[in-house]
């Protein structure tokens, strides 16, 4: 595996610069007057589009350097491969695997329905220690499905790494840990909110509404059907 310096890993600094990067590339949107409808059908005054990261080489390089360092600090030399979740996780897994100097695979959301009907694409051997890489996580549900596919293939998977973790729903880390999965992330909505306040990226009223949502997403959504 390639050499990556983890001697001075500062998670606070990583969180701040990741949040700043997301704000600078306009990956973060706040709008309390016209809330966004998420895939779940629920509304929120927040939206993050981590797919934008791949289009900004400078920001992308910094985030992937930081993610690789966090991963190396967690695993040391125990990692045999990196797997990306279809589809958003694939480019991030590739960037990280290149930095770590280890094999990369990707995991389909469901069997492709023809040929070998595989969910795992690429070379993954029985007993390998595999890290699942994705762009973000909200409640961790999709991570459990991807990890199940990795384990069904005979490999081990004890962690998932993401750029962004919502960190507003209760028990997500505990749910993943109960399945033997550690969650590694660079920043959360709280980091983005703090950086947006410090940088004046949005007006105060908007940021206050976002903070209200982050403190009680269920209550906020009940009040904004």
Range of the domain at 124: 11-223
pLDDT of residue 41: 81
Res. 114: pLDDT tops 90? no
Q: How many domains does the chain have?
A: 1
**184 within domain boundaries:** yes
**125 near 150, Cβ under 8 Å?**
no
pLDDT for position 81: 97
Q: Which residues make beta-bridge pairs with 43?
A: 37
Q: Is 45 part of a structural domain of the chain?
A: yes
Cβ neighbours for 13, distance < 8 A, ≥ 6 positions apart:
none
Count CB atoms within 10 A of the CB of residue 201.
18
pLDDT of residue 71: 97
Q: Is residue 73 part of a domain?
A: yes
- pLDDT, residue 39, reads 76
Sign of the CA dihedral running 187, 188, 192, 195: negative
Whole-angstrom distance, CA of residue 184 vs CA of residue 179: 15
Mean pLDDT of 97-124: 88
Whether this prediction's pTM lies above 0.75 is answered by yes
CA 166 to chain centre: 9
pLDDT in tens, 166-225: 999 999 999 999 999 999 999 999 999 999 999 999 999 999 999 999 999 999 988 887
What is the pLDDT at residue 129?
98
Residue 67 DSSP SS3: helix
Residue 139 covered by a domain: yes
Confidence of residue 111 (pLDDT cuts 50, 70, 90): confident
Examine the pLDDT at 116 and tell me if it is beyond 70. Answer: no
Evaluate whether 61 touches 204 at the Cβ level (below 8 Å). no
Residue 128 belongs to a domain: yes
Q: Which residue, chain included where needed, has tokens 């996780």?
A: 89
Q: Which helix (H) or strand (E) holds 106?
A: strand 104-107
CATH of the domain at 94: 3.40.50.2020
Three-state SS at 30: strand
140: in domain? yes
- pLDDT tens digit string along 8-42? 899 999 999 999 999 999 999 999 899 998 877 88
Q: pLDDT, tens digit, for every residue of 129-147?
A: 999 999 999 998 889 999 9
pLDDT at residue number 225: 76
Residue 193 lies in a domain: yes
Listed residue (201, 184, 207, 185) closest to 20, CA to CA = 201
Domain-located, residue 6: no
Q: Are 140 and 56 in contact (CB under 8 A)?
A: no
Q: Which two tokens stand for residue 171?
A: 């028990």
Print burial letters for 160-174: b (CB count within 10 Å at least 16), e (below 16): bbbbbbbbbeeebbe
Q: Indicate the pLDDT class of residue 112, thresholds 50, 70 and 90.
A: confident
């Amino acid at each position: 595996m390639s050499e990556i310096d983890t001697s001075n890993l500062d998670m606070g600094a990583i969180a701040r610069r990741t949040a700043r990067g997301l704000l600078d590339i306009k990956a973060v949107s706040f709008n309390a007057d016209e809330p966004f409808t998420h895939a779940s059908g629920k509304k929120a005054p927040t939206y993050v589009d981590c797919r934008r990261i791949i289009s900004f080489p400078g920001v992308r390089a910094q985030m992937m350097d930081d993610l690789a360092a966090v991963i190396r600090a967690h695993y040391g030399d125990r990692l045999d491969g990196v797997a990306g979740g279809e589809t958003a996780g694939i480019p991030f897994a590739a960037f990280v695997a290149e930095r770590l100097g280890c094999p990369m695979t990707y995991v389909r959301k469901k069997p492709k329905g023809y040929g070998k009907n595989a969910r795992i694409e690429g070379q993954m051997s029985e007993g390998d220690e595999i890290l699942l890489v994705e762009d973000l996580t909200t409640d961790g549900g999709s991570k459990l499905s991807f990890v199940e596919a990795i384990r069904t293939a005979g490999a081990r998977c004890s962690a998932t790494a993401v750029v962004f973790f919502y960190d507003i729903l209760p028990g997500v880390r505990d749910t993943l840990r109960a399945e033997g999965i550690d969650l590694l992330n660079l920043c959360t909505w709280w980091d983005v909110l703090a950086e947006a306040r410090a940088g004046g990226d949005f007006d105060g009223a908007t940021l206050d509404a976002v903070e209200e949502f982050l403190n009680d997403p269920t209550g906020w959504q009940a009040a904004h059907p």
